[in-house]
Structures are given as structure tokens and as C-alpha cells.
């Protein structure tokens, strides 16, 4: 015995929703969809490089115990502090 979905019992079938139609279109035109995603990714990367800020992980939190511990560690053994001792981090 076959299970029926709602609406099929009376012989009428509900029209597919927008999301289903979009999914079916994407499945039929998958090359266009992949190219569109790659173009969008490239555009976002270009915008980020043009208008985005520089990446920086150089920050301190004064008075925090871990910051105090890092300062003690750098004072006694600069190579063990996790930061470069000479030159830049670039």
C-alpha cells in the first residue's frame, strides 16, 4: 500500500513552493550556480582587499593575570613567550 501525501487523496496536488523551485532550477543549471558562487567569492575577496582593514593580532589586556604571566615569561625567557624576539611577525 502506498502512502499518500496531503492533497493527493482528492486528486489535486499542491504547487511546489519557491524554495523547491529554486532547488530544482539550481540542480538543472548546476554549472551556472557554481560559476555564480565563484564570481561572488572573487568579488567579496576583491572588496575585502580594497576596503577591508589589515589583520592584526597585536593586542593586550592590561591587568589580566594571563597578560602578567606572559610579561614574566617574556622577561625570563623571551623565546618561550610565543612572540617573535627579533624582526616583525610578517
Residue 69 domain-assigned (yes or no):
no
Q: What is the mean pLDDT of residues 2-26?
A: 77
**Can you tell me the distance from the alpha carbon of 23 to that of 20, in angstroms, rounded to the nearest whole number?**
5
- Whether 23 maps to a domain, the answer reads yes
pTM for the whole thing? 0.47
Q: How far apart are CA 67 and CA 81, in angstroms?
A: 11
Domain count, the chain: 1
Domain range spanning residue 41? 16-49
Does residue 6 lie within any of the structural domains?
no
* Structural domain includes residue 73: no
Helices (H), the chain: 18-28, 30-51, 65-76
Confidence of residue 90 (pLDDT cuts 50, 70, 90): very low
Region of 52 please: left (phi>0), alpha (psi -120 to 50) or beta.
Answer: beta
Amino acid at each position: 500500500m502506498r502512502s499518500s501525501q496531503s492533497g493527493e487523496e482528492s486528486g489535486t496536488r499542491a504547487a511546489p513552493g519557491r524554495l523547491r523551485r529554486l532547488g530544482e532550477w539550481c540542480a538543472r543549471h548546476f554549472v551556472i550556480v557554481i560559476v555564480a558562487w565563484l564570481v561572488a567569492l572573487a568579488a567579496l575577496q576583491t572588496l575585502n582587499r580594497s576596503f577591508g582593514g589589515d589583520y592584526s593580532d597585536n593586542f593586550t589586556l592590561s591587568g589580566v593575570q594571563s597578560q602578567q604571566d606572559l610579561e614574566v615569561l617574556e622577561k625570563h625567557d623571551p623565546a618561550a613567550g610565543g612572540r617573535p624576539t627579533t624582526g616583525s611577525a610578517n
